[in-house]
Amino acid sequence: MNTKIKKYKPNYFSLRKHKLPSWYDGAKLGIFVHWGLYSIPAFATNLGKNIKQIVKEKGFLEQFKNTPYAEWYLNSIRIKDSEAYKYHNTKYGENFDYYDFIPIFNNEIKNWNPIQMVECIKKSGARYAVIVSKHHDGFLLWKTKYPHPKRPNFMSERDIISDFVNAIRSLGLRLGIYYSGTFDWSFQNKPITDVINFIQNGVTSKEYVEYVNNHWFELIDLFNPDILWNDIGYPPRTSVNKIFAYFYNKNPDGVINDRWIQIPNWIRWILKQYIPRKILEWITKRAFVKGGASMPVLYHCDFLTPEYGVFEKIKKKKWEQTRGIGNSFGYNQFEKEEHYISRDELINMFIDIVSKNGNLLLNIGPKADGSIPEIQKKRLFELGEWLRINGEAIYDTKPWKKAEGKTLEGFEVKFTIKNNNLNIIVLKTITKLDKIDLTIKDLKLKPNSKIRLLGETNETKIKWNQIKKNLHIEIVNIPETILNQPAFSLIVSGI
């Protein structure tokens, strides 16, 4: 594109003309990378429970005080009766500041091999990856021309983002960059303990607005990302539309997430002064449990981002579930395999997401040295193994008229469609080389339709017949490649 021609202008009516690019819609799977100073203590509590479960059962106070998110370690140790506070003082001492982790982190990352990391990502079957450039602790992972105004050398000695980008591009994946917009705890010392604190915690000073704006424009110029993934909103008194238009005019095939909400200071004040804390928490809790971090948006975005949540029905607006393989984004050394999502749960959840017009942004939390924990690596490879056989029913598909069904035998079925072919994904594990005999409820095919099994061999034989409104399918000579997998896929042509 000739960047001298400014197709997009910095206003909602111009930006809304941006169409969701086919590459993102069809990619279906991305990998998130949360890696930073918090990867050194690698501590979080509430093992085995995700953030939505904690909020639903115990409320926001418990979520902030003893969060499952290891990347929130700095906020956690600022809460004096939290488990993280106790752990930090015992492990490192009361006088050890969080930012004393910086020289340790700089030493750990010296031998990091970005190609090895991205090779693991690619083996998952992902088509894009999003890396954190600045999380809520404020520490920067690239060599910026706009340094922290109060903290010298407040960036990694190694240009992590640049090295990651080079590896991503060399292996043919799309790039997303994450940046924490409103939260920056290097500017804000007060911990978040409840909903009011959460709303008030964002930094809104003129100095900070200039700082984050400079960073986003610089990240776009330096790395030409395909995805802008902002988090926890954006400070007021500036125009996010200028960032969006600048980005689209440089990369028309780029996409922007939904977490750019700007809450003016006067609204923050009204919420604090006039809305009872219990009512505000009740409203926020209901919205969060239902939608994760994805809230209704009144501004431009390309996709929604529910956190640890799947929509119940097909969503017209493109969406992307984001979650960890465990219950933390940053590496939590205390999470064991039983705290991680199982292979079958992961694959079945992924299929469900795709059937409802979603992508999955699955997070890995590397250790401080950049190595991916073995349990996380195992899940990536298991997902990739399933996709190598079943990818045709996933990649570049669209939702069908309904997302799911059932068989008379009690198995769940998910549907996608591509090139006028109906993809039927059956959530059943085949454990031995006998025939598959199933009947899908309320599914009627045309007489000339043909069915094939993904992963089939020349010996595989498929027969089908219509029994009133139900579809009966019989498969013999099942190939070994689909044995012991949590789901198998049938492609119906001629629908």
CA angle in degrees (0–180, nearest 5) for 390-307-376: 55
Q: Are 20 and 302 in contact (CB under 8 A)?
A: yes
Q: Which residues of 196-209 are buried (b: 16+ CB within 10 A; e: fewer)?
A: bebbbbbbbeeebb
> What Å distances lie between residue 142 and 19, 145, 162, 165, 359, CA to CA?
30, 10, 7, 11, 27
Segments of the chain assigned to CATH 3.20.20.80: 12-393
DSSP characters over 71-86: GGHHHHHTSTTSHHHH
Q: What CATH number has the domain spanning 12-393?
A: 3.20.20.80
Looking at residue 224, its amino acid is N
Q: pTM for the complete prediction?
A: 0.94
* For helices 114-123 and 160-170, angle between their N-to-C axes, nearest 10 degrees: 50
- How high is the pLDDT of residue 186? 98
Domain 404-493 falls in which CATH fold?
Immunoglobulin-like (2.60.40)
pLDDT for res 296: 47
Dist. CA 245–CA 239, nearest whole Å? 10
Q: What is the pLDDT of residue 298?
A: 63
Pairing state of beta strands 436-440 and 470-476?
A: antiparallel
Tens of pLDDT along the chain (495 residues)? 444 567 999 999 999 999 999 999 999 999 999 999 999 999 999 888 898 888 888 888 888 999 999 999 999 999 999 999 999 999 999 999 999 999 999 999 999 999 999 999 999 999 999 999 999 999 999 999 999 999 999 999 999 999 999 999 999 999 999 999 999 999 999 999 988 888 889 999 999 999 999 999 999 999 999 999 999 999 999 999 999 999 999 999 999 999 999 987 777 767 667 666 666 666 666 666 666 555 445 689 999 999 998 899 999 999 999 999 999 999 999 999 999 999 999 999 999 999 999 999 999 999 999 999 999 999 999 999 999 999 999 999 999 999 999 999 999 999 999 999 999 999 999 987 778 999 999 999 999 999 999 999 999 999 999 999 999 999 999 999 899 999 999 999 988
CATH 2.60.40.1180 in the chain, residue ranges: 404-493
Tell me the residue length of the chain. Answer: 495
Residues 6+ apart with CB under 8 A from 112: 158, 160, 163, 369, 370, 371
Predicted local confidence at residue 3, as pLDDT: 45
